[in-house]
Amino acid sequence: MSKRSILHMLDPMPHNSPFDVNMAVDAGFDVLMPYSNVKLDSVHRLVQDAIFSRGPAGVKQTAMFIGGRDLGLAMDMLNSCKQAMVPPFEVSVLVDPSGAFTTAAALVACVAKQLKDQHGKALNECTALVFGGTGPVGIATGIIASLAGADIALVDHLLLATADDAAKEYNRRFGCTMRGAVATNAAEKSALIEQVNLIFCTAKAGIQVLSAEVLQHAKQLKVAGDVNAVPPLGIEGINSKDFGVPLAAAINSPKAVAVGALAVGNIKYKLQQALLKTMLETDKPLYLDFRNAYAMAEQLL
Amino acid sequence: MSKRSILHMLDPMPHNSPFDVNMAVDAGFDVLMPYSNVKLDSVHRLVQDAIFSRGPAGVKQTAMFIGGRDLGLAMDMLNSCKQAMVPPFEVSVLVDPSGAFTTAAALVACVAKQLKDQHGKALNECTALVFGGTGPVGIATGIIASLAGADIALVDHLLLATADDAAKEYNRRFGCTMRGAVATNAAEKSALIEQVNLIFCTAKAGIQVLSAEVLQHAKQLKVAGDVNAVPPLGIEGINSKDFGVPLAAAINSPKAVAVGALAVGNIKYKLQQALLKTMLETDKPLYLDFRNAYAMAEQLL
Amino acid sequence: MSKRSILHMLDPMPHNSPFDVNMAVDAGFDVLMPYSNVKLDSVHRLVQDAIFSRGPAGVKQTAMFIGGRDLGLAMDMLNSCKQAMVPPFEVSVLVDPSGAFTTAAALVACVAKQLKDQHGKALNECTALVFGGTGPVGIATGIIASLAGADIALVDHLLLATADDAAKEYNRRFGCTMRGAVATNAAEKSALIEQVNLIFCTAKAGIQVLSAEVLQHAKQLKVAGDVNAVPPLGIEGINSKDFGVPLAAAINSPKAVAVGALAVGNIKYKLQQALLKTMLETDKPLYLDFRNAYAMAEQLL
């Protein structure tokens, strides 16, 4: 009888996320084991405890998931996992804190797809703003798009320093080239978006970031994507299901199109399922982070 | 392939209860996920994390369970669950802290059944005492019986104020009309039970609350129910399996009958199983608390 | 339909061990439920919560596992489990903190097997040293071998008092007769091993405890066993797969043979699987500790 598959779910937060649990069940893992309040220095021991007990056939049916809310910590935990492996006693690991990596990968891939289909352009020809740019999804969006060549500014809604710090920290870490920016009111938003080609809206659910009045200042906008599915949506006039539909509110960018939260969510869902299933099917252990998520999101589109 | 069913088990205590776990497994949930030390203000996030990841078909195979030991907190958590739902992304929730709701519902339903069968009476024609009335099962018993019309006094074994406070708090909360009472010794117990029609004994396991000597003071007793299955039982002379058997020790209430802990436990078991299974079978999400438990217990009898 | 089997896994540490989880899955338990940070005084309640909800048929499909890192605490938890049982509501319990009991049982059984096969001797005719003797595996090794009649010294690498304290504590507890010893450098190790018959090496992974230079001082060595599978191994010149192979480095004990970590690990794996499966198959509840582990390890060889 083949061994049942096991997903050891490590989370630095007080509780594992029911979202991740549901996804892992639906991806087909037989047994899910939660570990919450996991500290970075516990990861090594947990991994070594996980890899040595099932034999060579068993490790292929064993995988780990790293959640939480902090991107840097999650990546540190992934690195700690890698260092703890003792090939051939080695298992696959997926890291997706707060779903930020899969959400960001889906968002960037959807926007890039429309950019290509509707405008014949690629990310490396574009300037882009990430509103909500200092949260987990925003930072991951910025990193992915920057590594794909876009000229990225992470926009904080309160302080420039917060955005600058995030940009610097993750530039250093992943070799990308983001800047910080700030927009605390409509006037500052209007000024920021005037010449920008792409807008990623990753602010909190239920908050309208860009009103129609602000959007009319955009003169070079090509694609705007939003991940907020809870009304009011992040961009006025956008529809959650939009995928390449004209963004009418951007009256001075008549060719601008929108990507709504459900369009992104649909890809994010398929993407997370695909990543989880990949760990069950691979013959060689995989370490899956935002880079793999983006590559797979591109394939899904 | 249909999705596997998942029960997310939220518990404010340091550990989920193995009792609840066993029951949920036997009710047929495919996957159980424990969350312990859950604070009230974490419930909203946990619920929203649980409802958005499985699609419309998936939410019907997803449910939540709320445990713990504190009735008020458990009901607050249930309310927080309700507020977090975003129909059609909505899952069923069962709340049963320490099994108190199902135990109390089974106890009251069993006593009401014997009251009707043996005496032709209903709860709203009766006065009743709840010994151990300030613990979770006692309070839930009082609430259920009071809402069914009985004239209820919650009896504390140390302080009247404790009983009064509990009665007031839950009267306000659920619109019932309980009083507090105290009985610290045999004389006080004897005085209390003299004119009462119903006795619910919900004190701790292994403690005899009513001796034969005390019971002889009961002159209007019709039914006495006990949930203590560990000798000495809560009521002298009762047998755990009694279900409508004369309570011989109540010599001045010759028609009084007894309901023992195993008779109650048998219904409680069926009831908890039925409530859990209801969540798996329902097409429309259900919020199941002591009221639903009592309604279903009546059906089971 | 027969009830699914459930293993309630109690661990005093912040996280249950993925090792134990993997083993329990592979042993065939249908549902695993983790409880971490379990305090000794919570065990009674957890057990009583576990035994009363599945009926007589259900308890046979319910078991508990006690992990952690502290042998004494684990045995205390086992005792607390026993006291909480209410036959026939009683479930099997396996205690194996850090896998120490199964590892030690496998190690001692393997060494005893080679001692008999190659030298025609039994443990009760031999003196033995346990290096790494104050860690969980070392102490368990000492206890098992001492109870089998060997003259045991637990060797600490820093302080004699540490070894003496451990020996006294566990002698009192389990009726064995161990001594403490210390060896902080090669000279002290050389002196200690000069007349000894058996060496158990249970120090940390990746640390060489006995060099070839030290080993040449052994003049009466018959069998040396090592549980360290991570190079450098615990004993110079040993091979992880050795099982009765001459220990060439012990040049003044030409008949000495070695038992390597993978040989021990192979038996430990089978042993832990067998113990877990025994709980699923037994008709009468079992309490399985290092004694049962050793008895079963002997059967496996």
Asked if B173 reaches chain A (Cβ–Cβ under 8 Å), the answer is no
Q: How large is the average pLDDT for residues A109-130?
A: 98
What is the average pLDDT across A203-223? Answer: 96
Pinpoint the residues of chain A covered by CATH 3.40.50.10280.
6-95
For residues C107 and C200, give the distance between their C-alpha atoms in angstroms, rounded to a whole number. 8
**Alpha-helical regions (H) of A129-242:** 136-147, 160-174, 186-193, 212-215
Contact yes or no for C114/C257 (Cβ under 8 A): yes
Chain-chain contact of C34 with B32 (C-beta, under 8 angstroms): no
Q: Is C4 on the interface with B (CB under 8 A)?
A: yes
Using a CB-CB distance cutoff of 8 angstroms, which residues of chain B are in contact with residue A68? none
What is residue B2's predicted lDDT score, i.e. its pLDDT?
A: 82
How many CB atoms neighbour CB B161 within 10 A? 11
The CA distances from residue C83 to A273, C12, C78, C239, in Å, are 46, 18, 9, 45
Mutual angle of helices B43-51 and B71-84, in 10-degree steps: 40
CA distances from B65 to A266, B24, C301 (A): 28, 9, 47
Judged by CB atoms closer than 8 Å, whether chains meet at B6 and A22 is answered as: yes
Q: Is B32 on the interface with C (CB under 8 A)?
A: yes
Given a cut of 90, whether residue A284 has pLDDT beyond it is: yes
Characterize the bridge pairing of strands C257-259 and C243-246. antiparallel
- The B residues from 205 to 234 touching C (CB cutoff 8 Å) are 230
**Domain covering B102-264, topology:** Rossmann fold (3.40.50)
Which region, left, alpha or beta, applies to residue C149 given φ > 0 means left and ψ of -120 to 50 means alpha? Answer: left
Q: Which of C13, C15, C103, C270 to mutate to test the interface with A (most CBs of A within 10 A)?
A: C15
Contact in structure between C258 and C246 (CB atoms under 8 Å): yes
Q: Please give, rounded to a whole number of angstroms, the shortest distance from the CA of B47 to a CA of chain A.
A: 8
SS3 category, A154: strand
Q: In Å, how far from its chain's centre is CA C112?
A: 14
Cβ of residue A40 closer than 8 Å to a chain C Cβ: no
The pLDDT tens digits for A16-40 are: 999 999 999 999 999 999 999 999 9
pLDDT at position A57? 84
Q: Residue C205: pLDDT above 90?
A: no
Location of each CATH 3.40.50.720 domain in chain C: 102-264
A29 vs A91: CA distance, rounded Å? 14
Spatial separation of the C-alpha atoms in residues A184 and A202, rounded to whole Å: 15
- Out of A6, A37, A47, the one facing C21 most closely (by C-beta) is A6
Subunits next to B (3 or more Cβ pairs <8 Å) are: A, C
Closest by Cα among A146, A137, A63, A154 to A102: A137
Contact by Cβ (8 Å): C262, C241: yes
Asked if A15's CB is within 8 angstroms of B38's CB, the reply is yes
What is the C-alpha to C-alpha distance for residues B7 and B64, in angstroms, rounded to an integer? 5
- Strand A257-259 with A243-246, pairing: antiparallel
Interface of A with B in 266-285 (CB under 8 A): 269
Question: Is C204's Cβ below 8 Å from some Cβ in A?
Answer: no
Q: What pLDDT, in 10s, does the model give residues C157-170?
A: 999 999 999 999 99
- CB-based contacts of B266, cutoff 8 Å, min separation 6: none
Among the listed residues A58, A130, A138, the one whose alpha carbon sits nearest the alpha carbon of residue A98: A138
Answer yes or no: do B52 and A19 touch at CB < 8 A: yes
pLDDT for the residue numbered B1:
56
Residues from chain B that touch C35, judged by Cβ atoms under 8 A, are 15-16, 18
B53·A15 Cβ contact <8 A: no
Please tell me if residue B22 touches chain C, with a CB cutoff of 8 Å.
yes
C50 touches chain B (CB under 8 A): yes
Q: How confident is the model at residue C63 (pLDDT cuts 50, 70, 90)?
A: very high
- What is the radius of gyration, based on Cα positions, of chain B? 20
Nearest CA in chain A to B32: A32
Q: What is the dihedral of CA B70, B74, B75, B79, to 10 degrees?
A: 150
Cβ neighbours of B18 in C, within 8 Å: 8, 33, 35, 46-47, 49-50, 53
Per-residue pLDDT of C25-34, as tens digits, reads 999 999 999 9
C26 and A CB contact within 8 Å: yes
Bridge-partner residues for A235, per DSSP? A210
Q: With a cut of 70, which residues of chain B have pLDDT below it?
A: 1
Q: Which of C71, C44, C126, A168 is nearest to B18 (CA)?
A: C44
CB contact under 8 A, A34 and B37: no
Residue C69 with chain A: CB contacts under 8 Å: none
Helix and strand totals (H; E) in chain A = 11, 12
From chain B, the residues in CB contact with C7 under 8 A are none
Taking the CA of residue A11 and the nearest CA in chain B, the distance in Å comes to 12
Place of tokens 């151990």: B132
- Please name the helix (run of DSSP H) or strand (run of DSSP E) that holds residue A287, with its range, or none: strand A287-288
Q: What is the pLDDT of residue A171?
A: 98
Are residues B15 and C31, on separate chains, in Cβ contact within 8 Å?
Answer: no
- Please tell me the distance from the alpha carbon of residue A46 to that of residue A38, in angstroms, as a whole number: 9
Among the listed residues B47, B40, B76, the one whose alpha carbon sits nearest the alpha carbon of residue B63: B47
> How far away is chain C from the Cα of A45, in angstroms, using its nearest Cα?
9
Nearby residues of A39 by Cβ (< 8 Å), 6 or more positions away: A12
pLDDT (mean) for C104-129 = 98
Collect all residues of chain A within an 8 Å Cβ-Cβ radius of residue B86. 230
- Is 90 exceeded by the pLDDT of residue C122? yes
For residues C82 and C75, give the distance between their C-alpha atoms in angstroms, rounded to a whole number: 11
Q: Which residue of A has its CA nearest to B39?
A: A14
- Phi and psi torsions of C155, nearest 5°: -105, 120
B49:A17 CB<8 A: yes
* Residues C14-43, mean pLDDT to the nearest whole number: 97
pLDDT of A169 strictly over 70: yes
The residue among C49, C65, C85, C93 with the most chain B CBs within 10 A of its CB, best to mutate, is: C49
Phi and psi, residue A220, nearest 5°? -125, 15
User: What does the DSSP assignment read for A228-254?
Assistant: --SSSPSBTT--TT-EEEE-TT-TT-T
Among B18, B25, B269, the residue with its CB nearest the CB of C49 is: B18
Q: Kindly state the greatest CA–CA separation across chain B.
A: 65
Task: Answer yes or no: are the C-beta atoms of A111 and A117 closer than 8 Å.
Answer: no
d(CA B210, CA A92): 62
CA distances A185 to A127, A129, A189, Å, are 21, 15, 6
Within 8 A of C30 by CB-CB distance, chain B residues are 25
Instruction: Supply the pLDDT for residue A1.
Output: 56
Predicted confidence (pLDDT) at residue A3 exceeds the cutoff of 90:
yes
* Cα–Cα dist B133/B128, whole Å: 11
Instruction: Tell me the CA distances in angstroms from A80 to A14, A84, A260, B273, one per residue in order.
Output: 20, 6, 36, 43
Torsion of the alpha carbons at C8, C11, C14 and C16, rounded to the nearest 10: -60
Give residue A32's region: left, alpha or beta (phi > 0; psi -120 to 50): beta
Question: What percent of the residues of chain B are helix, what percent strand, and what percent coil, each to the nearest 5?
Answer: 45, 20, 35
At B236, the amino acid letter reads E
- Both tokens of B135, joined, read 């613990």
Task: Please enumerate in sequence order all residues whose Cβ is within 8 A of that of C162, keeping only pairs 6 or more positions apart, or say none.
Answer: C134, C156, C180, C182
Query: Is A100-264 in CATH node 3.40.190.10?
Result: no
Give the C-alpha separation, A166 to B110, whole Å: 63
A35 lies within 8 A of chain C by CB: yes
Written as one letter, the residue type at A166 is: A
Cβ of C19 and A58 within 8 Å?
no
Interface test with chain A among C17, C25, C69, by most A beta carbons within 10 Å? C25
What was the pLDDT predicted at A230? 84
Mean pLDDT, rounded, for C163-181: 97
Give the whole-angstrom CA distance, residue B36 versus residue B11.
Answer: 5
Taking CB atoms and an 8 Å limit, are A86 and C22 in contact across chains? no
Task: Classify burial at B22, counting beta carbons within 10 Å of its beta carbon; exposed 0-12, middle 13-18, buried 19 or more.
Answer: buried
Name all chains with 3 or more CB-CB pairs below 8 Å to chain A. B, C
- Confidence (pLDDT) at C1: 56
Give C300 to chain A, closest Cα distance, Å.
18
Q: Which region holds residue B35: left if phi is over 0, alpha if psi is between -120 and 50, else beta?
A: beta
Q: A142: closest CA among A121, A164, A117, A158? A: A164
Rg of chain A (C-alpha set):
20
Q: Tell which C residues from 238 to 267 touch A, by Cβ distance under 8 Å.
A: none
- Hey, is the C-beta of C31 within 8 angstroms of any chain B C-beta? yes
Judge: B15–C38 Cβ closer than 8 Å, yes or no: yes
Residue of C nearest to A37 (CA): C14
Neighbour order of strands in the sheet with A62-66: A31-35, A6-10, A62-66, A92-95, A287-288
Q: Please give, rounded to a whole number of angstroms, the shortest distance from the CA of B54 to a CA of chain A.
A: 7
Nearest CA to CA, how far is C86 from chain B (Å)?
Answer: 9
Is ipTM > 0.90 here? Answer: yes
**Spatial contact of A48 and A81, defined as CB atoms under 8 Å apart:** no
Q: Where are the alpha helices (DSSP H) in chain C?
A: 18-27, 43-51, 55-59, 71-84, 100-119, 136-147, 160-174, 186-193, 212-215, 261-281, 290-300
How far apart CA B293 and CA A245 sit, in angstroms, is: 50
- Whether residue C200 is predicted with pLDDT greater than 60 in this model: the reply is yes
Q: How many CB atoms lie within 10 A of CB A199?
A: 31
CA distance B277 to chain A (A): 19
> How far is C-alpha B135 from the geometric centre of its chain's CA atoms?
11
Peptide bond into B232 cis (omega under 30): yes
Q: Which of C15, C6, C92, C55 is nearest to B21 (CA)?
A: C6
B111 or C56, higher pLDDT: B111
C-alpha dihedral sign at C170, C176, C181, C187: negative
Determine the Cα–Cα distance for residues A226 and A261; give it in Å rounded to an integer.
5
SS3 B229: coil
Can you name the CATH fold of B6-95? Rossmann fold (3.40.50)
Our CA-based measurement puts residue B17 at a distance from the nearest CA of chain C, in whole angstroms, of 6
- Specify the amino acid at residue B232: P
Q: Which of B233, B230, B225 is nearest to B201 (CA)?
A: B225
Q: Does B38 touch chain A (CB under 8 A)?
A: yes
Q: Where in chain A is the domain with CATH 3.40.50.720?
A: 100-264
Distance CA C293, CA C102 (A): 6
